[in-house]
Amino acid sequence: MTDASHTPLPALLDLATERLLAAGQADRDADLLRLRLERYGPELLAGLAPLYGPTAGGRPWLGRLIDLLVARHAERPEALRLLDARRALQPDWLLSPRQLGYVCYVDRYAGTLGALTERLDHLEELGVTYLHLMPLLAPRPGDSDGGYAVADYRAVDPALGTAEELEALAGALRERGISLCIDLVLNHVAREHAWAAAARAGDPRYQGYFWLFEDREQPDRYEQTLPEVFPAFAPGNFTLDETLGRWVWTTFNTFQWDLNWSNPEVFLEFADLILYWANRGVEVLRLDAIAFTIKRLGTDCQNQPEVHALVQALRAMARIAAPALAFKAEAIVGPQQLIHYLGSGEHHGRVSDLAYHNSLMVQTWSALAARRADLMTHALAAFPDKPRSCAWATYVRCHDDIGWAVTDEDAAALGLDGPAHRRFLADYYAGAFPGSHARGDLFQDNPLTGDRRSCGTTASLAGLELGLRRGDEKLISLSIERVLLAHAIALSFGGVPLLYMGDEIGLLNDHGYRDDPERRGDNRWMHRPTMDWEAVARREVPGTPQARIYDGLRRLIQARKRTPQLHAAEPARIVDLRQPRVFCFVRPHPEGDLLALFNVTEQAQTAQLPELGQQVDRISGRVVQPHDGSLLTLAPYERLWLVTVGAGAQRAWRHV
Ligand code: GLC
DSSP-derived secondary structure for 160-213? T--HHHHHHHHHHHHHTT-EEEEEEE-SEEETTSHHHHHHHTT-HHHHTTB-EE
Q: How far apart are the C-alpha atoms of 569 and 380, rounded to whole Å?
A: 17
Residue 288 Cα to ligand 1 midpoint, Å, equals 7
Residue of 252, 358, 395, 519 to test ligand 1 pocket, by largest number of atoms within 8 Å of CB: 252
How far, in whole angstroms, is CA 579 from its chain's centroid? 31
Where on the phi/psi map is residue 131: left (φ > 0), alpha (ψ -120 to 50), or beta? beta
Nearest atom of ligand 1 to the alpha carbon of 149: 12
Q: Strand 212-213 vs strand 246-249: parallel, antiparallel, or unpaired?
A: antiparallel
257 CB less than 6 Å from ligand 1?
Answer: no
Task: Quick: pLDDT tens for 486-538.
Answer: 999 999 999 999 999 999 999 999 999 999 999 999 999 999 999 999 999 99
Q: Which amino acid is at 65?
A: L
288 CB less than 6 Å from ligand 1?
Answer: yes
Of the two residues 262 and 613, the one the predictor is more confident about is 262
Q: Whose CA is nearest to atom 10 of ligand 1?
A: 145
Q: Whose CA is nearest to atom 8 of ligand 1?
A: 400
258 CB less than 6 Å from ligand 1?
Answer: no
Question: Residues, the chain, total?
Answer: 656
Residue 393 Cα to ligand 1 midpoint, Å, equals 16
401 CB less than 6 Å from ligand 1?
Answer: no
353 CB less than 6 Å from ligand 1?
Answer: no
Residue 649: the pLDDT is 45
Q: How many CA atoms lie within 13 A of 45 on its CB side?
A: 23
79-103: b or e for each residue (b if 16 or more CB lie within 10 Å)? ebbebbeebeeeeebbbbbebbbbb
Residue 21: the pLDDT is 87
Per the prediction, the chain carries an average pLDDT of 95
Question: Has residue 80 got a pLDDT over 90?
Answer: yes
Residue 161: the pLDDT is 98
Question: Has residue 550 got a pLDDT over 70?
Answer: yes
How far, in whole angstroms, is CA 9 from its chain's centroid? 33
Residue 147 Cα to ligand 1 midpoint, Å, equals 9
Residue 148 Cα to ligand 1 midpoint, Å, equals 6
Task: Quick: pLDDT tens for 313-344.
Answer: 999 999 999 999 999 999 999 888 999 999 99
Distances (CA, A) of 110 to 148, 164, 250, 511, 530: 20, 18, 32, 19, 9
185 CB less than 6 Å from ligand 1?
Answer: yes
Residue 4: the pLDDT is 44
For 618, other C-beta atoms within 10 Å of its C-beta total: 22
Residue of 288, 290, 401 to test ligand 1 pocket, by largest number of atoms within 8 Å of CB: 288
Of the two residues 53 and 553, the one the predictor is more confident about is 553
Catalytic residues: 288, 330
Q: Whose CA is nearest to atom 4 of ligand 1?
A: 148
Residue 28: the pLDDT is 87
- Residues 305, 49: contact at Cβ < 8 Å? no
431 CB less than 6 Å from ligand 1?
Answer: no
Question: Has residue 655 got a pLDDT over 70?
Answer: no
Residue 27 Cα to ligand 1 midpoint, Å, equals 43
> How would residue 6 be classed by pLDDT, with cut points 50, 70 and 90?
low
Residue 57: the pLDDT is 78
- Residues 122, 162: contact at Cβ < 8 Å? no
367 CB less than 6 Å from ligand 1?
Answer: no
329 CB less than 6 Å from ligand 1?
Answer: no
Mean pLDDT computed over 115-136: 98
Residue 320: the pLDDT is 97
Q: How far apart are the C-alpha atoms of 106 and 132, rounded to whole Å?
A: 10
Mean pLDDT computed over 337-359: 96
Distances (CA, A) of 341 to 229, 307, 348, 349: 20, 9, 9, 10
Task: Quick: pLDDT tens for 282-309.
Answer: 999 999 999 999 999 999 999 999 999 9
Mean pLDDT computed over 428-448: 95
Q: Say what percent of the chain tops pLDDT 90.
A: 88
Residue 457 Cα to ligand 1 midpoint, Å, equals 17
Question: Has residue 7 got a pLDDT over 70?
Answer: no
Mean pLDDT computed over 609-618: 86
Mean pLDDT computed over 106-110: 98
Residue 599 Cα to ligand 1 midpoint, Å, equals 33
229 CB less than 6 Å from ligand 1?
Answer: no
Nearest atom of ligand 1 to the alpha carbon of 146: 9
Mean pLDDT computed over 13-35: 89
- Residues 190, 141: contact at Cβ < 8 Å? no
Residue 653: the pLDDT is 53
Residue 629: the pLDDT is 75
Residue 5: the pLDDT is 45
Query: Is the dihedral angle over the CA atoms 486, 488, 492, 494 positive or is it negative?
Result: positive
Terminal C-alpha separation, the chain: 39
Mean pLDDT computed over 585-604: 96
Q: How far apart are the C-alpha atoms of 308 and 294, rounded to whole Å?
A: 10
Q: Whose CA is nearest to atom 11 of ligand 1?
A: 289
Mean pLDDT computed over 364-371: 98
Distances (CA, A) of 263 to 560, 594, 655: 45, 48, 49
Residue 656: the pLDDT is 44
Residue 450: the pLDDT is 87
- Residues 545, 503: contact at Cβ < 8 Å? no
146 CB less than 6 Å from ligand 1?
Answer: yes
Task: Quick: pLDDT tens for 144-170.
Answer: 999 999 999 999 999 999 999 999 999
Residue 1: the pLDDT is 38
400 CB less than 6 Å from ligand 1?
Answer: yes
Residue 187: the pLDDT is 98
Nearest atom of ligand 1 to the alpha carbon of 230: 10
Q: Say what percent of the chain tops pLDDT 70.
A: 97
For 532, other C-beta atoms within 10 Å of its C-beta total: 15
Which of 273, 274, 215, 276 lies closest to 240, judged by CA? Answer: 215
Q: How far apart are the C-alpha atoms of 50 and 178, rounded to whole Å?
A: 36
- Residues 442, 425: contact at Cβ < 8 Å? no
Q: Strand 130-133 vs strand 179-185: parallel, antiparallel, or unpaired?
A: parallel
Question: Has residue 444 got a pLDDT over 50?
Answer: yes
For 567, other C-beta atoms within 10 Å of its C-beta total: 17
Residue 331 Cα to ligand 1 midpoint, Å, equals 10
> How would residue 211 be classed by pLDDT, with cut points 50, 70 and 90?
very high
Of the two residues 599 and 626, the one the predictor is more confident about is 599
Residue 330 Cα to ligand 1 midpoint, Å, equals 9
Residue 375: the pLDDT is 98
47 CB less than 6 Å from ligand 1?
Answer: no
Residue 644: the pLDDT is 87
SS3 sequence, 247-298? Answer: EEECCCCCCEEEECCCCHHHHHHHHHHHHHHHCCCCCEEEEECHHHCCCCCC
- According to DSSP, the residues that pair with 327 across neighbouring strands are 285
- Residues 519, 139: contact at Cβ < 8 Å? no
- Name the 3-class secondary structure at 241: strand
Question: Has residue 273 got a pLDDT over 70?
Answer: yes
